[in-house]
């Protein structure tokens, strides 16, 4: 009798979940029964959301419904939220269904921890955000209103413990670019508040000369910055810091800290206190061998102590590498071979500044490093845009992996 296919369930349908599903299907064909359960029925290319805020991209064009691309590869797609994980029974549960598994891959990213800072976040809070297309569209409309007033105060920043700080850099530089090209920059104050100990730290201790590059860039653009900033409260027109200083704004966008998914936090022994899955270098849980995690869901300790907490960013590029490494290790588990270290990652990023962009790659991603490349130029903006087009096509058609930029 033919053995029945292994059941692999993937929680999350984004950079981690889709890439893991495609890699497993390619490697194992009909030997696995693959199911992706995702709270969002669409894939969103998050790196382009800052462009939506500036009105440069249409949010609807950054989304792809997941059902068809996955179905084409024989991957079952379930639109739903995993509410419970029972690792002893090897089963995840949504509100109305149960999914038993032989192997589970957790790729459910994070929750946005607005509650950690009173008043933070879009309604009912007072600051804008960039983590969903709705957030970006709301921020776009509010920013357009403030810019049309002809003068005002703009404060962009990140909350204590934030990890995904890169988009805040992009947004503040892009707003500066728009104001300068409209000859209105002199009528606006533009400030940047970050928990990082220095500009360009990014939760990874900086990359080569990048921190100096960022300090120069902010100086040239007259962007007032405060590092080690600990935002403790947001009010309708100001941010309050732990040192008592108040930063008044007409428009503010603040990146929140992340918390792991509720079903991960609720599962005993699976995660660190913030709810991120503690994994071995093979990306399976330190507690449950048949539970893997990839991307934002993975616990990666900070590179070192900082006066205000800053977390390691688990970027799209890192997430994709983890997804492929986890898939490889699952295949090895089933068929034999040599496992890979899924935490030995290199990273490539492009941060858009509006009139120029910054490209960097670091190998490995966390210090000390063997190789660093950084470059600045308009060409990197076009590369980022080209990468968006490629990536959306990749999600639709499972294209070969390309790494020319983020």
Ligand X SMILES: Cc1cc2nc3c(=O)[nH]c(=O)nc-3n(C[C@H](O)[C@H](O)[C@H](O)COP(=O)(O)OP(=O)(O)OC[C@H]3O[C@@H](n4cnc5c(N)ncnc54)[C@H](O)[C@@H]3O)c2cc1C
Q: Say if CB 148 and CB 335 are below 8 A apart.
A: no
Candidates 180-188, 237-245, 315-323, 328-336: pick the segment binding ligand X (CB under 6 A): 315-323
State the minimum distance, in angstroms, from the CB of residue 307 to ligand X.
Answer: 25
Owner of token pair 């002893």:
88
State the minimum distance, in angstroms, from the CB of residue 84 to ligand X.
Answer: 9
Candidates 101-109, 210-218, 222-230, 374-382: pick the segment binding ligand X (CB under 6 A): 101-109
346: CB partners within 8 A, 6+ apart: 321, 361, 362, 363, 364, 365
Contact flag: residue 353 with ligand X (CB under 6 A): no
| C-alpha closest to that of 370 among 351, 345, 339 | 345
Candidates 24-32, 105-113, 176-184, 201-209: pick the segment binding ligand X (CB under 6 A): 105-113
Rank residues 240 and 255 by Cβ distance to ligand X and give the closer one. 255
State the minimum distance, in angstroms, from the CB of residue 205 to ligand X.
Answer: 17
Contact flag: residue 203 with ligand X (CB under 6 A): no
Rank residues 77 and 249 by Cβ distance to ligand X and give the closer one. 77
Rank residues 162 and 223 by Cβ distance to ligand X and give the closer one. 162
Separation between Cα atoms, residue 304 and residue 317, nearest integer Å: 22
Contact flag: residue 33 with ligand X (CB under 6 A): no
Q: Say if CB 222 and CB 190 are below 8 A apart.
A: yes
Q: For ligand X, which residue of 25, 57, 317, 394 counts as binding (CB under 6 A)?
A: 317
Count CB atoms within 10 A of the CB of residue 404: 12
User: Site mask, ligand X, residues 106-135, x = CB under 6 A?
Assistant: -xxx--------------------xx----
Backbone angles phi, psi at 123, to 5 degrees: -25, 130
Rank residues 98 and 335 by Cβ distance to ligand X and give the closer one. 98
Contact flag: residue 15 with ligand X (CB under 6 A): yes
Contact flag: residue 327 with ligand X (CB under 6 A): no
Separation between Cα atoms, residue 373 and residue 282, nearest integer Å: 27
Separation between Cα atoms, residue 309 and residue 135, nearest integer Å: 25
Rank residues 77 and 241 by Cβ distance to ligand X and give the closer one. 77
Q: For ligand X, which residue of 169, 188, 247, 406 counts as binding (CB under 6 A)?
A: 406
**Sign of torsion over alpha carbons 259, 263, 266, 267:** negative
Q: For ligand X, which residue of 163, 177, 252, 315 counts as binding (CB under 6 A)?
A: 315
Element (H, E) at 325: helix 316-335
**Sign of torsion over alpha carbons 331, 334, 337, 342:** positive
Owner of token pair 């910054």:
358
Active-site residue list: 164, 349
Contact flag: residue 17 with ligand X (CB under 6 A): yes
| C-alpha closest to that of 24 among 73, 78, 66 | 73
Rank residues 297 and 311 by Cβ distance to ligand X and give the closer one. 297
Count CB atoms within 10 A of the CB of residue 61: 14
Q: For ligand X, which residue of 81, 233, 355, 363 counts as binding (CB under 6 A)?
A: 81
Q: Say if CB 160 and CB 195 are below 8 A apart.
A: yes
Contact residues for ligand X, defined by CB under 6 A: 11-17, 37-40, 46-47, 49-50, 81-82, 107-109, 130-131, 164, 166-167, 261, 263, 295-297, 314-317, 319, 349, 406
């Amino acid at each position: 009798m033919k053995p029945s296919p292994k059941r692999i369930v993937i929680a999350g349908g984004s950079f981690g979940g889709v890439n893991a599903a495609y890699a497993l299907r390619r490697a194992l064909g009909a030997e696995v029964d693959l199911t992706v359960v995702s709270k969002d029925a669409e894939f969103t290319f998050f790196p382009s959301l800052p462009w939506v805020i500036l009105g440069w991209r249409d949010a609807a064009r950054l989304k792809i419904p997941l059902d068809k691309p996955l179905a084409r590869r024989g991957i079952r797609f379930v639109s739903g939220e995993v509410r419970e994980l029972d690792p002893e029974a090897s089963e995840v549960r949504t509100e109305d269904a149960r999914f038993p598994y032989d192997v589970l891959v957790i790729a459910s990213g994070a929750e946005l921890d607005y509650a950690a800072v009173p008043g933070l976040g879009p309604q009912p809070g007072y600051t804008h955000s960039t983590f969903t297309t709705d957030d970006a569209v709301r921020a776009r409309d509010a920013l357009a209103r403030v810019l049309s007033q002809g003068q005002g105060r703009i404060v962009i920043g990140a909350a204590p413990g934030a990890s995904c700080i890169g988009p805040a850099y992009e947004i503040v530089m892009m707003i500066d670019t728009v104001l300068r090209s409209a000859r209105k920059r002199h009528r606006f104050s533009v400030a940047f508040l970050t928990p990082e100990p220095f500009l360009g730290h990014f939760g990874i201790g900086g990359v080569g000369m990048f921190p100096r590059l960022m300090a120069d860039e902010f100086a040239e653009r007259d962007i007032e910055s405060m590092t080690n900033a600990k935002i403790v409260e947001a009010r309708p027109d100001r941010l309050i810091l732990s040192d008592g200083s108040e930063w008044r704004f007409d428009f503010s966008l603040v990146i929140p800290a992340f918390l792991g998914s509720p079903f991960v936090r609720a599962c005993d022994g699976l995660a660190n206190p913030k709810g991120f899955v503690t994994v071995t270098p093979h990306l399976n849980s330190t507690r449950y061998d048949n539970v893997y995690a990839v991307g934002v869901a993975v616990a990666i300790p900070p590179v070192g102590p900082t006066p205000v907490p800053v977390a390691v960013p688990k970027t799209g590029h890192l997430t994709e590498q983890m997804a492929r490494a986890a898939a490889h290790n699952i295949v090895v588990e089933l068929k034999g071979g040599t496992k890979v270290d899924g935490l030995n990652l290199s990273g490539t990023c492009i941060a858009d500044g509006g009139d120029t962009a910054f490209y960097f790659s670091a190998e490995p991603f966390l210090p000390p490093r063997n190789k660093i490349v950084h470059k600045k130029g308009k060409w990197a903006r076009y590369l980022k845009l080209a990468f968006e087009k490629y990536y959306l096509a990749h999600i639709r058609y499972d294209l070969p992996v390309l790494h020319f930029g983020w």
